[in-house]
């Protein structure tokens, strides 16, 4: 297998996870910075990984020769380039999401992947990814009834941040989520709302508790209407208030200023915890599915929460448990129970409640 963007925030945890997975025999780690990718291979690859410099927009297909699957953890902006390289190389493809608009374009490659007998699994991190399957699991409690609404809530906290600027994932992606107009489903139609629209407070449970949220742009909204038949859906994010304030200060900054802020940022600590909630309503019934991701492998839960589903998808694919071909979101290709069982071995805990 190959990992693109191997020197980023999430990829080292994926490499570490797959280094401990019997299903994976060999990994090649690709990044614009070959030296940093090599350091990830040395620290996390368990002797299975080699590394080299690579550019998704130049010759990536050649770097994928012999790979069964590419896990793309690089910027969502190069997702289409990476998918086309996989088609040329004849390998399957996984990524961590396309921030709604790009996901819609990625779905247009479905026929090409199906003709090639390959799977492109679009958005198989924490959210999108785990949350898609949590929604699918919630629907099983409704005995075939169509959902009236599906709402997703995500939060992460780092008790060691102590006022420091510590983004939980790629800074530019976070800024895009805060500045691009969120899309929600209303009466079955996608509707844009104002960035930073308040989403209200919700109880995430221990250890986060009640926290305020904002609506943000997310890939789940690109597929939930068609996948589940819901007419109302949203994604809401809760960030540490100090972090949110610093991100708002960076809105409108030049690329150079954003890059400098990313270099100065403090990496998430190994004490972070991530919580996701999916709330599905149908008539007088409400289903709550909660996922708690604590630290694991000595890596913080906010990172493991995103990395573990991608690594689990690789194992399921290797074992032949993902038989679909084409380009599709997780809810159309992965059984929730199979994914949850994999994630529970990485410390994630799920609960389902119906009221």
- Residue 337: which H helix or E strand, with range? helix 336-344
Full set of structural domains in the chain with CATH: 2-126+308-332 (3.40.50.720), 130-301 (3.30.360.10)
Q: How does pLDDT run across 249-282, given as a tens digit for each residue?
A: 898 889 899 889 988 888 889 999 999 999 999 9
Neighbours of 223 (CB within 10 A): 23
pTM score: 0.94
Furthest C-alpha separation in the chain: 56
Q: What is the pLDDT of residue 82?
A: 98
pLDDT of residue 328: 98
Q: What confidence tier does 206 reach under pLDDT thresholds 50, 70, 90?
A: very high
CA distance 22 to 94: 19
Say what the pLDDT of residue 163 is.
Answer: 75
Q: What is the dihedral of CA 69, 74, 78, 83, to 10 degrees?
A: 10
Closest by CA to 99, choosing from 226, 236, 251, 217, is 217
Nearest Cα to 274, choosing from 151, 123, 134, 158? Answer: 158
The string of pLDDT tens digits covering residues 46-61 is 999 999 999 999 999 9
Tell me which of 146 and 60 has the higher pLDDT: 60
- Share the mean pLDDT of the chain: 95
Angle, nearest 10°, between helix axes 336-344 and 301-318?
A: 120
pLDDT value for 72: 98
pLDDT, one tens digit per residue, over 62-95 is 999 999 999 999 999 999 999 999 999 999 999 9
Please give the structure tokens belonging to residue 59.
Answer: 């010759």
């Amino acid at each position: 297998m190959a990992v693109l963007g191997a020197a980023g925030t999430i990829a080292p945890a994926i490499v570490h996870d797959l280094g401990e997975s019997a299903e994976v025999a060999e990994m090649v780690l690709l990044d614009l910075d070959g030296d940093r990718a090599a350091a990830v291979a040395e620290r996390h690859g368990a002797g299975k990984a080699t590394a080299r410099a690579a550019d998704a927009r130049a010759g990536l297909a050649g770097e994928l020769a012999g790979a069964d699957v590419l896990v793309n953890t690089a910027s969502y902006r190069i997702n289409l380039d990476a998918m086309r390289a996989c088609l040329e190389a004849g390998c399957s493809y996984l990524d961590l999401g396309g921030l709604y608009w790009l996901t819609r374009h990625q779905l247009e490659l479905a026929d090409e992947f199906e003709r090639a007998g390959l799977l492109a699994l679009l958005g198989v991190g924490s959210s999108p990814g785990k949350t898609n399957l949590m929604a699918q699991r919630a629907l099983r409690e409704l005995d075939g009834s169509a959902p009236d609404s599906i709402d997703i809530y995500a939060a992460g906290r780092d008790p060691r941040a102590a006022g420091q600027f510590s983004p939980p994932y790629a800074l530019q992606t976070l800024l895009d989520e805060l500045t691009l107009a969120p899309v929600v489903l209303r009466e079955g139609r996608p509707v844009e709302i104002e960035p930073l629209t308040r989403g209200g407070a919700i109880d995430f449970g221990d250890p986060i508790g009640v926290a305020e949220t904002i609506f943000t742009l997310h890939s789940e909204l690109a597929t939930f209407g068609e996948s589940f038949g819901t007419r109302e859906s949203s994604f809401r994010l809760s960030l540490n208030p100090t972090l949110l304030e610093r991100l708002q200060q960076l809105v409108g900054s030049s690329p150079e200023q954003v890059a400098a802020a990313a270099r100065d940022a403090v990496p998430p600590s190994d004490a972070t915890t991530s919580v996701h909630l999916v709330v599905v309503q149908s008539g007088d019934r409400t289903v709550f599915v909660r996922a708690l991701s604590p630290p694991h492998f000595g890596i913080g839960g906010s990172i493991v929460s995103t990395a573990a589903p991608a690594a689990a998808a690789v194992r399921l694919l290797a074992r032949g448990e993902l038989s679909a071909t084409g380009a599709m979101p997780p809810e159309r290709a992965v059984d929730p129970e199979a994914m949850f069982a994999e994630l529970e071995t990485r410390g994630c805990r799920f609960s389902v409640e119906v009221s």
